Structure 1
C-alpha cells in the first residue's frame, strides 16, 4: 500500500487539537521569553507536585473504595445493596466543596475526639499525649474528602462494567464449579475492565481539575500559590494565565492518553 503523505496525515488532525497546540506554544513562549511569566511559573511550579500527589493518592484510594461499593451493589444481598446505594446517592448529592469543608472542619475534629476517647486508658496515666486537631494535616483532610466523593462516582463506573458482562458466562463459570471469587477474578473483572478503563481515565482528569478546590483549605497547590502570588503582586491576569496553562497541560495530555487507550482497545476488540 502507498504511504500517506505528511499533508494528508496533517489533514486528519482535529482542528481543536491544532488550536490547543497553538495555545500551548503561545503559553510556553510567554513563560520562556517574558521575565514576569517566568517568575510566576517558578513560583507556581512548586504546587504541581502537591496537585499531582493529592490527585494520585485520592484517586487510588477512591478506586479501591469504589470497587468495594460496586461489589456491594452487585452482590444481590439486599442489605448490602441498600447500604451501597444509600452511600452512592448521599455522596453524589453533596457538592464536592461542601463535602470538603465538612470533612475538614466537622469530620476531622470528630475523628480526633474519637481516637482520644479510645486512647483514654493510655492518655489518663500520661503514657501518651492526646491528639490535637492540628495533627490532622489539611492535605490529608483534602485527600480523604476527594476519596470519599469520587468513590461514589467510580462505584457507578465499576457497577456498569460488571453488569455489562454477559450473565451466561457467569452461570457457565459457576456450573463448572468456580467459586464466586474465582468467577469474578477470572471471568467478570477482566472483561469489565475493558469497559471501565476509559471512564476511569476521564475521572482521573476530572480529579486533577477538582483538586483545585483544596486551595479553599489553604493547601499549597497550583491554585493556592497562584492566589497568594496574585494578591501580593496584583498581577492577576498573568498569574491566572499560568495557572490555566499548567492545568490545561496536565488535563489535555491525560485526555489524549485516554483517547489513545480507547482507540487501541477498540482495535483489539475487532
Structure 2
C-alpha cells in the first residue's frame, strides 16, 4: 500500500487527524479537495487559542504545523472514487492541474464535510456567512443585542428562535408563508416577545455590514442585522454512499464509537459524521478518529 491512511478532506477534522497520525509516524496523504464549508465566514469563533481567526488562516496554520512530520503529505487533490480491496482501498482522483491520480491505502478517513442547501431566493447565498448565519454559538456574540430574524417553519424554527434570546431580545420569526406552528408554539413565542411574520419573502437586502432587511412580496420589509436558519444539508462527497456505508436519517455518515463506518476500514470525522457542528469539535473528532485508526493499524500489524 502507498499509504497507511488517506484522509479525504483538509478542513479542521482532516488536518487534525493528519497531525495525530503524523505523530504516530503513519504514512498519510491528505487530499485537499477545495475550500471548506466555513470559507465565507468572517471568523472561526469558540476555537480555543484561535477565537476569531479567519477560516483560511486557521487552515494555513494547520498545514504549516504538518510540515515537520516527514510521513505526512498534503496535496491539492479531489478524490472521485474509492474501491474496496482485500487489504485496504484504491483511490482515484484528479490533481489541481486536472491530471488523473491513483493511490492505495490500508485505511481511509472521510472528512469532506457537508453542504448547506439554502433557500433559492436572492440574497441568501450572497450574504451567507455575513448576514445569513447558521450557528448562534459561532456567530451569536458578534450580533448580540441587535435585531435578528430566524427563518424557517415548524418546531425547528421555534427552538432556534428561543435559543437566540440568549443573545438578543429583539427576535422575529420569518416563516416565508404559513408557519405550520402549533398553538402551543405560538404561545411560547409570544411569552418571550418573539413576533411571527408569515408573509412570503421576496429577497434579502444587504447593507455595508451584512444584512439590511428582509423584503416581502407585498412590498413591506423587516429591518434586521442578521438572519439565522437551520438549512438542510447534503454530504459534500458521495464516496461513503457509493461504498454502501450506512447514512443516517439526517444525511450524516453513521460511525461507531471508534469513528468507523459500516464499511470496514472506512472512517469518518467532522461534519461528515453525526453530531454538533463546530470547527473545534470537528478538530476533536479528527484527532479521535486518528487515535482509533492508529490502534487498529497497530493491532493488525502486531497480530
Task: Tell me which interval the TM-score lies in, with the shorter structure as reference length.
Answer: under 0.3
- Looking at both structures, which has the greater relative contact order when contacts are Cα pairs under 8 Å and sequence separation is at least 6? 1
Which structure features the higher share of helix residues?
A: 1
TM-score by length of 2: 0.23
Larger Rg: 1
